[in-house]
Amino acid sequence: MPDLRIFSRRAFFQTLAAMPALAACARPNIVLILSDDVGYGDLSCYGARRVATPNLDRLARGGVRFTSAYSPSATCTPTRYALLTGEYAWRREGTGVLPDDTPLIIEPGRETLPALLKRAGHVTACVSKWHPGLGAGNLDWNGEIRPGSLEVGFDYCFLIPATGDRVPCVYVENHRVVGLDPADPIRVSFRGPDGDEPAGRDRPDLLKLRPSTATTRPSSMASAASAT
């Protein structure tokens, strides 16, 4: 068994690729929790004293607790891109923290972590904040939202498109907004006050400070909130 302290992402992907040969063996369930901006001292199972994380501590006791690990980035989009593709985000342009209207940055059909797991016989699901982009440009939130997580290897998804403070504040299940009322369509604009630059591209807080420049219709937001 390899030394888990130095088990690289490349070795991890190679191991997953070899898993179909082990089809006769029982396949364990895999729950992978990705959390933004969590440091070594933020969990009590790693010695934190000012916070208590009993549920995560229980997971650590029942699984593998790594004592030497590295993250490809300290922020959301590049971490997700690297985890899903096995490629350092800095090797590819456009993988920084994405603006709100960015298309999917992972090419459908490329090798990904969920695609490898599917080949090994697993059924995969993504339930989370997403933030590697959605659609192919000029996304219509009232129709089918694709390409997205299903097109990069997941069988099912229930997600928020980006961060919780960015419009549209909706949940997406597979290819559709949850609770969408066709009689009250979602209209989103990311145009800035000058009409040229998308609001929030460099200052995400503008989406909150200037709601008239990047808004979702209030009734649509209420519909999404009632679906939680």
- Tell me the catalytic residues: 76, 131
What's the residue count for the chain? 228
CA neighbor of 113 nearest in space, from 101, 100, 122, 104: 122
- The Cα angle at residue 169 between residues 165 and 175, in degrees rounded to 5: 130
Whole-angstrom distance, CA of residue 117 vs CA of residue 27: 10
Sign of CA pseudo-dihedral 136, 100, 82, 28 = negative
- Looking only at the bridges linking them, the beta strands covering 176-177 and 172-173 are antiparallel
Whole-angstrom distance, CA of residue 162 vs CA of residue 47: 31
CA neighbor of 193 nearest in space, from 178, 206, 180: 206
3-state secondary structure of 162: coil
Token pair, residue 88, equals: 């350092």
Q: How many other CB atoms are there within 10 angstroms of residue 55's CB atom?
A: 8
Specify the amino acid at residue 24.
A
Q: Which residue intervals of the chain are DSSP H helices?
A: 9-17, 54-62, 76-85, 113-119, 206-209, 218-226
Token pair, residue 97, equals: 């923290």
